[in-house]
Amino acid sequence: MSDSSDDLPLSRLNHQTVVRNRAEGVVQISDKGKGTRKKMRRASCHDSGSDGEISAMKRKKMKSAGNLRSGHNESAGNKKVIKPKELMRVQRVEQGIAAFEWWNSPDPPEGKAWQTLEHCGMTFEPQYKPHGVAVLYDGVPISLTPYQEELATFYAAMPEDGPQLNVSGGQREIFQRNFWDDWHKVLGKSHAIKSFDKCDFSDISKHLDRLKFVKRAASDAEKVVARELRDDCQLRSGYAILDDHLEKVGNFRMEPPSLFRGRGKHPKTGVVKLRVEPDQVSINCGASRPPPICLELGRSWGEIKHDDTVTWLSTWHENVMQSNKYVMLAANSSLKGKSDFKKFQKAMQLKGCIERVRHDYHKNLKSKDRHLKQQATTMWLIDTLALRVGGEKSEEEADTVGCCSLRVEHFTFHKTGKDVDLEFLGKDSILFKQSIDFAGFDEHGQQAYDNIREMCRSKKKNEQVFELIEPTSLNAHLSSIMPGLTAKVFRTYNASETLQNQLPDAEHVIEMRSIGDKLIAYNEANRIVAILCNHQRTVSAAAATGLEAQAEKLEQTQEQKIAATAAYEAATIKKREANKSKQAEAHRFSKLPDEKDVSRRIDIWTEKIKKLEIDLRNKEENKEVSLGTSKANYLDPRISVAWCKRCDVPIEKLFSRP
């Protein structure tokens, strides 16, 4: 029994010929074209129809075959064959990694981070190739050695309108002084360049701009080759085998030499970051696995370790901050996932005993013991204002502080009421500046105000307010109330709790028709959390330009919608007029815009305007607030996922794939 045409796949139909039997009114499908032509001839001999009817039949046959070839066969339900997107090599590997359910895998033994670890080490920047463009000194070209030229190129690559060299940024003088100190040592005392003020790096800057232009103008074939080289590097060194499972490595590429930028007003901005060689790198891998091979010709690793209590793969000592840097597994690895899971579980545990913790510091706010009173006041600030605990800093680091290291100069008390201005540089030199009305809090908040004012009295501006409190002792006290509790857990708990309370109810969100409106509601709650945690970001010149461009695009789209609406009205009027004299004006129908098409275009432009308005509003409201920091580090993802499910919001709208 032969298959019916409805059951045949399109791949077979594409290679078959369709014949319509005029007498029976059915479609006959033949696997062989020659047999079909014979049937056609027999049909033409025995059929009593005219030649015109046979030609019509041929035209129908050709039309039917054409429809089958283009995938529009009615018997196939107008379904097109959609080929699956071919994944790149790296994508296929990471798709396999994502299939591993790390949350169901057993944990390593107590005190161990892993049982087996194997990886391929690090990749290093190629050695510097001189370009030969001279630095102008007092208008005269000066030749440089390759290393001297490399440092000069680092400086020439810095944008003049960037935070380091911008005149209004306050960092230019420090940056230039630090760079000159390092460059002058490389130049030597006998070099012709004696003063930085007479140096002109513009020729090198122009050369670098030309290289950028050439890179942007690369052909598609050149971009494919570059991508293949990046993929080769990723596949060679970008993965590790942890406990017999493939994991992605985070920063497996060694940091290139450059000029240290730092965040905020860093005292070491402009210092030269030296090139790191393989013999300065220590490798950590499993003792039962072969160590990685150093791919740098004639070089070897500095040390091979087998420490299964740590999670780093490689480490080296950097010269600017005199600290160790590490290569870790990627953010979507099982180690990071398990660590985050424990962090949010600890915050959830704090929710169950937060009243006990608060009762502890509430009673000590009025303690006669000075240490207990300071301890209780810092706990109130950490819990209420979500401050970081802070710690000691060296003189060479930026003047950043936390709750325990706050100084008198950071508090400004108003003459009336209980308003206090708190201003200091926090982590990463992010400015915390907030006016706090302690009268708006309960009796415990007002007691905290009295304590702070009393502790600031009779102290110099540069003295610490809570001089008796150390982060270690504070964390030890917190652990005595709840095992494993530290000041860090408060930020995670308060951030997640605030998100939970600020997210709108599902009944309210479901009434919103578009996903964009729902995302605005989520981002608003996220923004409140980011403000609580003081997660800020600097609005760069590029970001400001982007906002202006998006506003212009919105204005242009609105004008296009107005034009489309006018065209729709004109089309309606012209169509009405055309109907009155249909015969006389028939030749103009092809030039008139179709009413349905114009109406459809208006709907499309309306959606475009709405989307642009939502995007612009999101960017404008959140241009100085970093939503991603709180979402990635402090917000329990289970809260967001549950909200998405309740409110019919695709999860991928909130969480991008790593």
pLDDT in tens, 69-123: 444 444 445 556 777 778 888 989 988 998 999 999 999 999 999 999 999 999 9
pLDDT attached to residue 512: 78
Q: Which residues contact 296 (CB under 8 A, 6 or more apart)?
A: 124, 277, 278
Please count the CA atoms within 13 angstroms of the CA of 438 that sit on its side-chain side: 24
Residue 647's identity, in one-letter code, is: C
| pLDDT value at residue 160 | 87
Residues of CATH 3.90.15.10 domain(s) within the chain?
336-491
Reported confidence tier of residue 400, pLDDT bands at 50, 70, 90: confident
Over the stretch 151-191, which tens digit does the pLDDT of each residue have? 999 999 999 888 888 877 678 999 999 999 999 999 999 99
Mean pLDDT, the chain, whole residue set:
83
- pLDDT of 27 reads 36
List, for residues 308-332, the tens digit of each pLDDT value. 999 999 999 999 999 999 999 999 9
Under the banding of pLDDT at 50, 70 and 90, the label for residue 604 is confident
* CA–CA gap between residue 40 and residue 32 (Å, rounded): 13
Once rounded to an integer, what is the mean pLDDT over residues 195-223?
95
Give one DSSP letter per residue of 185-215, joined into a string: HHH-TTSS---GGGEE-HHHHHHHHHHHHHH
387-391, 413-417, 636-640 — most confident range: 636-640
pLDDT tens for each residue of 519-528: 888 988 999 9
pLDDT tens, 550-576?
Answer: 566 656 666 666 766 777 667 777 666
pLDDT, tens digit (0-9, with 9 covering 90-100), for 224-252: 999 999 999 999 999 999 999 999 999 99
592 — pLDDT class (breaks 50, 70, 90): low
pLDDT the model gives residue 446: 92
Could you tell me which residue, 603 or 448, shows the higher pLDDT? 448
Q: What is the pLDDT of residue 17?
A: 40
> Where in the chain are all domains bearing CATH 1.10.132.10?
501-577+593-653
In the predicted model, what is the mean pLDDT of residues 280-285? 98
Average pLDDT over residues 496-503: 94
Tell me the CATH number for domain 501-577+593-653.
1.10.132.10
**Edge-first strand listing for the sheet containing 323-327:** 303-305, 282-284, 314-318, 323-327
Q: What pLDDT is stored for residue 11 in this prediction?
A: 41
- For the 336-491 domain, the top CATH level (class) is alpha beta
Residues 630-651: pLDDT tens digits? Answer: 898 999 999 999 999 999 999 9
Express each pLDDT in 416-438 by its tens digit: 888 999 999 888 788 899 999 99
Query: Cα–Cα distance between 9 and 39 in angstroms, integer?
Result: 24
The average pLDDT across 446-451 equals: 95
Percent helix, strand, coil in the chain (nearest 5)? Answer: 50, 10, 40
In the block, tokens 């911008």 appear at: 166
Distance CA(235)–CA(587), nearest Å, equals 64
Angle between helical axes of 370-385 and 471-481 (0-180°, round to 10): 80
Provide mean pLDDT across the span 433-458. Answer: 93
Position 594 confidence tier, pLDDT thresholds 50, 70, 90: low
Query: What CATH superfamily classification does 104-121+225-330 receive?
Result: DNA Topoisomerase I, domain 2 (2.170.11.10)
Report the alpha-carbon distance of residue 43 to residue 54 in Å, rounded: 9
Higher pLDDT residue, 346 or 10? 346
Average pLDDT value for residue range 584-604: 62
What number of other Cβ atoms are within 10 A of residue 529's Cβ?
24
**Structure confidence by residue, pLDDT tens digits, 129-159:** 999 999 999 999 999 999 999 999 999 999 9
pLDDT given at position 396: 59
Residue 5 pLDDT: 44
For residue 59, pLDDT beyond 80: no
CATH class of 135-221: mainly alpha
pLDDT at 386: 93
Indicate if the pLDDT at residue 450 is higher than 60. Answer: yes
CA distance 282 to 297: 18
Residues carrying CATH 1.10.10.41, the chain: 135-221
Tell me if the pTM is above 0.85: no
Give the per-residue pLDDT at 623.
Answer: 67
What three-state secondary structure class fits 111? coil
How open is the CA angle 241-242-245, to the nearest 5 degrees?
Answer: 70
In this predicted structure, the answer to whether residue 532 has a pLDDT above a threshold of 50 is yes
Q: Which residues are catalytic?
A: 634
Query: Which pLDDT does position 658 carry in this prediction?
Result: 60
Residue 20: count other Cβ atoms within 10 Å of its Cβ.
16
How far from each other are the two terminal CA atoms of the chain, in whole angstroms? 53
Q: How does strand 282-284 pair with strand 303-305?
A: parallel
Decide if pLDDT at 529 tops 70: yes
The pLDDT of 61-73, averaged and rounded, is 47
